[in-house]
Amino acid sequence: MDYQTYITRDPHISGGVPIIRGTRVPIRTILASLAEGAKVEEILADFPTISEQAIWAVIAFAAVSAEEDLPLPAMPVVL
């Protein structure tokens, strides 16, 4: 998933927080909705300016961000 197609960060829009491109919807809002158990269909109903692909891009962005912020310890070498 190329999340950069769907997510942008501009210091002149919403204070520079990551948003879904072409909207002012912060990705943290989408992540919070998912964390609270909202279904994709519910999020799309709440935010009609975004697409399902944008929601998947938000998840991909979060996964990459978590990997960068929380590096996993090296796997032990098994001989």
- Give the model confidence (pLDDT) of 23-78 as tens digits: 999 999 999 999 999 999 999 999 999 999 999 999 999 988 877 665 556 666 66
Amino acid (one-letter) located at 68: E
What's this model's pTM, rounded to 2 decimal places? Answer: 0.79
Q: Domains (ranges, CATH) in the chain?
A: 3-69 (1.10.10.10)
Q: Give the whole-angstrom CA distance, residue 52 versus residue 50.
A: 7
Amino acid (one-letter) located at 40: V
Nearest CA among 34, 18, 35 for reference residue 26: 18
